[in-house]
Amino acid sequence: MATLKEELQAKVDAYDHWAKRRHFGPEGANNRKLWVLTCMDERLPIDEALGIRVDSPAGGGDAHCFRNAGGIVTDDAIRSAMLTCNFFGTTEIVVVQHTQCGMLSANAADLEQVLQNNGVDTDDIVLDPTLPELSLAPGSFSKWIGMMDDVDKTCMRSVEAIRNHPLIPDNVVVSGWIWEVEPRRLRAPTLDAERRAMTDVSSAQFGVSRTQPPRWD
């Protein structure tokens, strides 16, 4: 049986490794060797949805968590996924998108028009002031916004995009999930109308009549 001194020393050593884990590369992976891509929406509690500790208690340590509007695959999401999988020991990726998402609530072309009406030239825009060579082709801005027609379809395609990306190792496990805001429940993405009946999963349910610009083409 370990002495109290030995137990306390083990706790101190474990915390030191936790606090300094970025010094150890792949040997300093987060607790679950996990990267989570999810939406920035404040109604999506990632700890509750996945049963892990990421956001709370502060610094729970179970995963690297990347949030953006919609929880969609973007160049910066891929940048973060590439780093965590290739250099920080991550072996699993989970994509979590959700019903009632604001990225279903408008057509991206309309949003672009609002910016243009406010004097923004969307064909000549600086995306990243620290990397001015990162640019969009003319006419691509509304695609870049990344609005969705259907959250389940987007989740499925996000998983495939990550799984097939050359910067993500082939042995990384990738899955996608939908958090239903209305009943606070996690489920797999589906196109089954009955399973989606009580939730808002499409832009049509927000009164959007036009198909979004084809980001995935």
Edge-to-edge order in the sheet of strand 185-187: 64-68, 34-39, 92-98, 173-180, 185-187
* Residue 67 predicted with pLDDT over 90: yes
34 and 130 in a single domain? The answer is no
Q: Are 158 and 132 in contact (CB under 8 A)?
A: no
Number of domains in the chain: 2
pLDDT tens digits along 72-110: 999 999 999 999 999 999 999 999 999 999 999 999 999
Residue 200 domain flag:
yes
Q: Which residues pair with 88 in a beta bridge?
A: none
> Closest by alpha carbon to 36, among 46, 44, 28?
46
Residue 217 has pLDDT above 70, yes or no: no
Q: What percent of the chain has pLDDT over 90?
A: 93
Which position has the token pair 């995935």? 216
What is the mean predicted confidence (pLDDT) over 15-44? 95
Query: 131 and 52 in one domain?
Result: no
Same domain as 79, residue 62: yes
Average pLDDT, integer, range 169-190: 98
130 and 65: one domain? no
Query: Looking at residue 60, what is its pLDDT?
Result: 86
Q: Is the pLDDT of residue 35 over 70?
A: yes
**3-state class percentages of the chain: helix first, strand second, coil last, to nearest 5:** 35, 15, 50
Co-location of 42 and 75 in the same domain: yes
Q: What is the pTM of this model?
A: 0.94
Q: What pLDDT is recorded for position 9? A: 97
Q: What is the domain-level CATH number for residue 157?
A: 3.40.1050.10
Sign of the alpha-carbon dihedral angle for 86, 169, 75, 107 = negative
Burial of 71 (0-12, 13-18, 19+ CB in 10 A): buried
Q: Do 72 and 30 sit in the same domain of this protein?
A: yes
Pairwise CA distance, residues 59 & 80, whole Å: 18
Give the confidence band of 196 by pLDDT, cuts at 50, 70, 90.
Answer: very high
Is 2 within a domain?
Answer: no
Q: What is the pLDDT of residues 119-149, one digit of tens each?
A: 999 999 999 999 999 999 999 999 999 999 9
One domain for residues 127 and 49: no
pLDDT of residue 56: 79
Examine the domain organization and report whether 72 and 137 are in the same domain. no
Is residue 119 situated within a structural domain? yes
Does residue 185 fall inside a structural domain? yes
Same domain, 73 and 116: no
Q: In terms of domains, do 188 and 201 share one?
A: yes
Query: How are beta strands 34-39 and 64-68 bridged, if at all?
Result: parallel
Reported as a pLDDT band with limits 50, 70 and 90, residue 59 is confident
Q: Give me the residues paired with residue 64 across strands.
A: 35
Q: Residue 87 belongs to what H/E stretch?
A: helix 75-87
Q: Quote the domain boundaries for residue 179.
A: 21-105+150-206
Q: Do 154 and 64 reside in the same domain of the chain?
A: yes
144-147-150 Cα angle (round to 5) = 135
Q: Average of pLDDT values for 37-64?
A: 93
- Asked, for residue 136, whether it belongs to a domain, the answer is yes
Q: 115 with 97, same domain? A: no
Q: CA 158 → CA 78, 94, 155, distances in Å?
A: 11, 10, 5
